[in-house]
Amino acid sequence: MKVDDTEVGIAEGRAAGVWTVGVVRSGNIMGLSETDVAALSVTERESRLDAAGAALSAAGAHIVIDTVADLPSALEALPFAPAS
């Protein structure tokens, strides 16, 4: 598995043949601190998150999450995840 916040990192994971997870909110594509993200208007924040998610999806991410805190639930969505 490769967890990354850049298109090139996602491409590396895909080239290696592993599951890839893109991180948007706390990642390089957003390029903002959590304080700066919180200061954005809701419309601007959602627009930037959508654009970051689209970029990582286009790069081949199997799953896109906001932050690494969302990783455990994302892993459960993958086909190899054990049943709860």
Domains of the chain: 2-69 (3.40.50.1000)
d(CA 56, CA 21): 9
Give residue 81's pLDDT band: very low, low, confident or very high (50, 70, 90): low
Helix (H) or strand (E) holding 21: strand 20-23
Residues 15-24 have a mean pLDDT of 94
Instruction: Report pTM.
Output: 0.85
Give residue 84's pLDDT band: very low, low, confident or very high (50, 70, 90): very low
7 or 83, which is more confident?
7
Write the pLDDT tens digit of every residue in 24-75. 998 888 889 889 999 999 999 999 999 999 999 999 999 999 999 999 998 8
d(CA 27, CA 66): 8
